[in-house]
Homo-oligomer: A and B are copies of this chain.
Amino acid sequence: MTFDELYEQIAGGKMSKDEARRHFSLEWMETARNYIADVNRGARINIPEIIYGEYKTADQTVELADAWLTRHSGVLVSRSPHQATLVDYFNDRYSVRETPLLLAIGDFPEPKGHVLVISAGAADHPVASECSLALEALGVNPVVFEDRGIAHPTRVLDAVMEGMNKKVAAVIVVAGMEGALAPFVSSLVPLPVVGVPTSVGYGFRANEAALTSMLASCAPNLTVVNIDGGIRAAVVAGLIAKNSSL
Given A56-B123, A152-B41, A192–B46 Cβ distance below 8 Å?
no
A47 contacts B194, CB within 8 Å? no
Which residue of chain B is the closest to A217 with respect to CB atoms? Answer: B178
A228 contacts B203, CB within 8 Å? yes
Which residue of chain B is the closest to A7 with respect to CB atoms? Answer: B17
Given A22-B167, A212-B204, A226-B203, A45–B189 Cβ distance below 8 Å?
yes
Copies in the complex: 8
Q: Does A33 contact B (CB under 8 A)?
A: yes
B190 contacts A203, CB within 8 Å? no
CB distance from A196 to the nearest CB of B (A): 10
B218 contacts A177, CB within 8 Å? yes
Bits for A101-131, please: 1 = Cβ < 8 Å to B, else 0.
0000000000000000000011100000000
Contact of A233 among B26, B223, B226 (CB under 8 A): B223
Contact of A244 among B28, B45, B243 (CB under 8 A): B243
Q: Please measure, in the bound complex, the distance between the C-alpha atom of A205 and the C-alpha atom of B205, giving whole angstroms.
A: 12
Q: Does A87 contact B (CB under 8 A)?
A: no
Q: Please measure, in the bound complex, the distance between the C-alpha atom of A223 and the C-alpha atom of B244, giving whole angstroms.
A: 18
Contact of A211 among B43, B148, B152, B204 (CB under 8 A): B204
CB distance from A119 to the nearest CB of B (A): 11
Residues of B within 8 A of A121 (CB): 52, 55, 218
Residues of B within 8 A of A140 (CB): none
CB distance from A206 to the nearest CB of B (A): 7
Q: Does A70 contact B (CB under 8 A)?
A: no
Contact of A220 among B3, B50, B54 (CB under 8 A): B50
B190 contacts A43, CB within 8 Å? yes
Residues of B within 8 A of A164 (CB): 22, 25-26, 29, 39
Q: Please measure, in the bound complex, the distance between the C-alpha atom of A24 and the C-alpha atom of B152, giving whole angstroms.
A: 14
Residues of B within 8 A of A155 (CB): 29, 36, 38
A-B contact pairs, 14 of them (CB 8 A): A7-B17, A18-B245, A25-B188, A32-B157, A35-B157, A39-B188, A55-B121, A178-B212, A180-B180, A192-B236, A203-B215, A204-B216, A209-B216, A212-B212
Q: A177-B218, A194-B223, A203-B229 are in contact. List 18 more A-B contacts (CB 8 A).
A: A18-B245, A25-B189, A26-B35, A26-B164, A33-B158, A35-B122, A38-B157, A44-B187, A45-B221, A50-B220, A54-B123, A150-B183, A177-B216, A180-B184, A204-B211, A215-B224, A217-B226, A223-B223
